[in-house]
Structure 1
């Protein structure tokens, strides 16, 4: 008996309004992707996000203890972040305010 090759590609067909297709085509062009690649990647990303929302996170008892310890420990300032937040925002600089 001959073995059947498992099909790896499954066509997906959708009916969409012209406005949706135009938006997808424009975004795909901006990313340098084909419509198919753009839509496939967006669909897979949305599916992964949906699954991650409901999938439990499994870890060992020791891993869970380390995790809870990290959460309950006092925060440690990150020097680079402290410096970043001390700088004025670009819109707060004299050049952006129109000042000379």
Structure 2
């Protein structure tokens, strides 16, 4: 007998307390997106959770690769005239 998604991944309620102005803002945004408040909040929360987890990603490398990486960081910078000119150029919003 096949299992249903409902039994494999049950939905459980979450209760939140929030200020009325925050709730109104969420409701307005949900309406703009054509979603219910619940759908909007779940989507936004899930995206924020994924971003937080992705920000914590660790990249593992072998000892030789790590040693080469550290050597590049410790090496004096190479001359780069284009970068030097870019860094010395005033930003468009700064007075000339």
User: TM-score band, normalised by the shorter chain?
Assistant: 0.5 to 0.7
TM-score with structure 2 length normalisation? 0.52
Number of residue pairs the alignment of both structures matches: 88
Q: Which residue of 1 aligns with 2:14?
A: 13
Gap runs ≥5 in structure 1: 94-100
Q: Which residue of 1 aligns with 2:48?
A: 45
Deviation at 1:64, TM superposition (A): 0.9
Root-mean-square deviation (CA), in Å?
3.7
Deviation at 1:92, TM superposition (A): 2.2
Matches within 5 A, 1:14-93: 14-15=15-16, 16-26=18-28, 28=29, 33=33, 34=35, 35=37, 36-37=39-40, 40-49=43-52, 52-53=55-56, 56-76=58-78, 77=80, 79=82, 82-83=85-86, 85-93=88-96
TM-score with structure 1 length normalisation? 0.51
Distance of 1:22 and 1:44 partners within structure 2 = 21
Stretch of structure 1 that moved more, 58-67 or 4-13: 4-13
Gap runs ≥5 in structure 2: none
